[in-house]
Structure 1
Amino acid sequence: WGACRGDLGLGSLQRGSPGWGACKGAGLPGTMRASCVLLAALAVLAAYYVYIPLPGSVSDPWKLMLLDATFRSAQQVSNLIHSLGLSHHLLALNFIIVSFGKKSAHSSARVKVTDTAFDGVEVRPLKRSIVYVHGGGWALASASMSRSPAEIRYYDELCTAMAEELNAVIVSIEYRLVPKVYFPAQIHDVVRATKYFLQPEVLHKYSVDPGRIGISGDSAGGNLAAALGQQFTQDANLKDKLKVQALIYPVLQALDFNTPSYQQNVNTPILPRYVMVKYWVDYFKGNYDFVQAMVVNNHTSLDVEEAVALRARLNWTSLLPPSLTKDYKPVVQTTGNARIVREIPQLLDARSAPLIADQKVLQHLPKTYILTCEHDVLRDDGIMYAKRLESAGVEVTLDHFEDGFHGCMIFTSWPTNFDVGIRTRNSYIKWLDQNL
């Protein structure tokens, strides 16, 4: 208002003076005040929407707030589309994410990319080899097939970097997603494609050393990779076929949503607890009415007999160090909702929750790398799995990042480039180089 007084006969604001261009043609003082108030209100609302309190140790906090706000906006738009009956919210969300993260036309001249299919499952082979399973809550993202409209740069860049730096063949599996298919279809896709790739004639075609093959994945992809590793140990024809497994902030259990990391990071980007529980319900084609009950562990209460024995396999009071358990208390309901497990028995299936697998299964797993992040609800899943594997005699490397957040390893290029993303990727690739 003060800068505009020359246009209103209250001073001598001249052409070329500061504020002239902005105020030329300004209306009445009341209109100006209303406009300024509206702009200020919009700025405050935008700041309120973007800002979330974050621990000082998290990497690039303001950039993370903006990334999280973008993702929350995409989720809200997809939920609106769903409520209007235009499309399933996960299909809409995946479309938005893929559109936002489309890769550029540039690709590495040193990496030969071929799209093909293994036993009917689309894969992307990029003289040691990694079979990679992308994350995205079993419902989002893509292995980045050139024939697919869902070309997204994040996994393309990761697999290209792995191929170049490891001089390796990377097989990135394009498994089917929710809501087109549900558990265990995603596991079947990953197992079928990997079995096909392990055939001697196929390995020969891609010049792969059959003794230097690993399985890897991040988030939900880490879940599928862990499930595949366990299934292979139980198949005499496939046992010892994998030299290593590398799991990046993997999803490993749906029995306890109140581990210390779930409590600590209940609203932390990019994966708040409520969103993770919804991904589980979507994966099993369950009832959204169960979500809130699951958040407080009503699905694995003491009166749900099927869950009691399995809960003992993820007793975090003994599996986690005091530095992580701190003052957090277990949330174990005396009575809950047994209907949840009756309608969604998949919750207690080790194929969906590899952390609850029997010790006899774990002892045959290959050398393992597990990357975890402090600011992630899934931190304790990975750390507990590392502890259980060590107890079973498996050689494990636990790589923990104090400033890391869920999903950070795929955010390494502008504008979503995070310092911790680059460091986690480098550490992961270094381990593979030394162990595969």
Structure 2
Amino acid sequence: MKLLCGISLLLVVTVAYHIYIPLPRTISEPWKLMLLDAAFRCVTHVFNMAHHLGLTHRIHVLNYAINGVEMLVPVSCEGIQVQDTHFDGVQVRVYQPSQKEKNQLRRGVVFFHGGGWSIGAPKLGSYDLLCKKMASDLNAVVVTVDYRMAPEVHFPVQYEECLHATQHFLKPEVLAQYSVDPERVAVCGDSAGGNLAAAVSQQIGVDNDSSVKFKAQVLIYPVLQALDFNTPSYQQNQDVPILYRRLMARFWLEYLGANLDHVHPMLINNHTAKDHVRGSAHRAKLDWTTLLPQSIKKDYKPVVKETGSPEILEKLPALLDVRAAPLLAEEDRLRMAPRAYILTCEHDVLRDDGLMYGRRLEQAGVHVTSDHLQDGFHGCVSFAFWPCYFSVGIRAVQNYIAWLDENL
């Protein structure tokens, strides 16, 4: 009996040690997030092992695990018609409310899912339910783009597929086919999807061949630059789940098809040292010392190296490409973007990307609504539905849909 109790105690201590991580007191439902993170870390160990053994790419294992969880989310199609089709050769799924009044024009939303440009299941689980909710609550036609992902494809493929599908949908004859009002179309995306939404929104804004423009853009904790991995939010939240700073750097390199050996030099900002001429012209566009308020900057200091690794920018010119890093766009390009709703979370490495972009849009004359969740963490919008939901995720979804309802 004593042996059994001892073994049980040891197991409990071991499990607790694996699960427990120190989290900020203000984060939403910390114990639930610890459990979620523990499961994620277990999967991470598995996909790293499989990758090193040469069995499969680590991203494939992670996607397999995510798809398995997403399949547990109940499917609900009541009142919503779902159609899988292709727009300009790109796979998309179209959601439409079943009931429609004669001659009624609906709103339209183009949605890009997140997942570091390499993971995610837009047709399963939380993203599927999210698109159905938008279609129902907004009485809108929602198009989610099932773009191809890394490691099979790399930048600019993800961006180009999102752009081409969007351009197809915005054709007047296609909008008419789906009974969508051309004056009431928005683009929306979370995380890497927010990156794609911002980049596509910029291009549609300056594209003289597009007669239909977006009325609004919704960017949910978007990732917008890879030149500074030491903004205050990267420093503050580097070890906060579910998006760690090192993981974000890896996602960037997977997206660009680059060697993961660049992770460490990028994390210490070696790729943007003062002796690098290529990146110097862009420093002001992400100078958080001037773009962020003091309440966000706190006592954090910029990390700027005198000398570094110039070969990174030489090998990866996409780091300076506005299609990959929308925060680096010139003001005349930003000026053509539609009004924006930008959701940021306090406990997220990407918090400052969104805040800086909002500030730069405002400086360009674009109306911006900033929604900052003090108890939020990265990915919370994906956890607004059973079986793994957080109160902050439910609130975040309600907030941005309410904004779209008022502004679209």
TM range (shorter): over 0.9
The answer (yes or no) to whether the contact 1:362–1:389 under 8 Å persists in 2 is: yes
Give me the whole-angstrom Cα distance separating, in 1, the residues matched to 2:142 and 2:350: 26
Give unpaired runs (5+ residues) of structure 2.
96-105
For 1:44, the aligned partner's letter is V
Q: Whole-Å Cα distance in 2 between the matches of residues 338 and 242 of structure 1?
A: 38
1:139-158 residue pairs with structure 2 within 5 A?
139-144=118-123, 152-158=124-130
**1:379 corresponds to:** 351
Residues matched between the structures, number: 398
Matched, 1:250 2:222: yes
Contact 1:139 1:179 (C-alpha < 8 Å) held by counterparts: yes
1:116 aligned counterpart, secondary structure: strand
- Matching residue within 125, 132, 135 for 2:111: 132
Measure the CA separation in 2 of the matches of 1:430 and 1:95.
33
Cα distance, 1:350 vs. partner? 1.2
Quote the residue 1:90 is aligned against: 59
Higher strand share: 2
Contact 1:296–1:331 (CA<8 Å) still a contact in 2?
yes
TM-score, with structure 1 as normaliser: 0.89
- Tell me the secondary structure at the aligned position of residue 211 of structure 1: strand
Q: CA deviation at 1:103?
A: 4.9
SS at match of 2:406: helix
The CA distance in 2 between the partners of 1:343 and 1:211, in whole Å, is 42
Structure 1: tracts of 5 or more residues without a match? 2-31, 145-151
Which ranges of 4 or more aligned residues in structure 1 deviate by more than 3 Å?
35-39, 103-106
What residue in structure 2 maps to residue 331 of structure 1? Answer: 303
Deviations 1:192-241 (A, max 9, x none): 10111112221111111111111110000000010101111221122661
Letter in 2 for 1:361: R
Pair 1:64-2:33 in alignment:
yes
Post-superposition CA distance 1:288-327 (Å, at most 9, x none): 1110111010011111111112122100000000001010
SS of residue in 2 equivalent to 1:123: strand
1:119 matches 2:98: no
In 1, Cα distance between equivalents of 2:73 and 2:33: 23
Residue 24 (structure 1) aligns with: none
Question: Which one-letter code corresponds to 2:110 in the other structure?
Answer: V
- What does residue 69 of structure 2 align with? 100
What is the DSSP-based 3-state SS (H/G/I as helix, E as strand, rest coil) of the residue aligned with 1:237?
A: coil
Counterpart amino acid of 2:378? H
SS at match of 2:181: coil
After TM superposition, list the pairs within 5 Å mapping 1:182-261 onto structure 2: 182-238=154-210, 241-261=213-233
* Higher RCO (CA 8 Å, separation ≥ 6 residues): 2
> Structure 1: how far apart are the matches of 2:219 and 2:177?
27
Contact 2:111–2:144 (CA under 8 A) maintained in structure 1:
yes
Instruction: Give SS of 1:66's match.
Output: helix
Residue identity matched to 1:349: D
After TM superposition, the structure 1 = structure 2 runs for residues 272-287 of structure 1, keeping only pairs within 5 Å, are: 272-287=244-259
Two-structure CA RMSD over aligned residues (Å):
1.2
Query: Against the structure 1 CA distance between its residues 239 and 333, is the aligned structure 2 distance closer, same or farther, given a 3 Å change threshold?
Result: farther
Listed as ranges, the matches of 1:276-425 within 5 Å are 276-425=248-397
SS of the equivalent of 1:312 reads helix
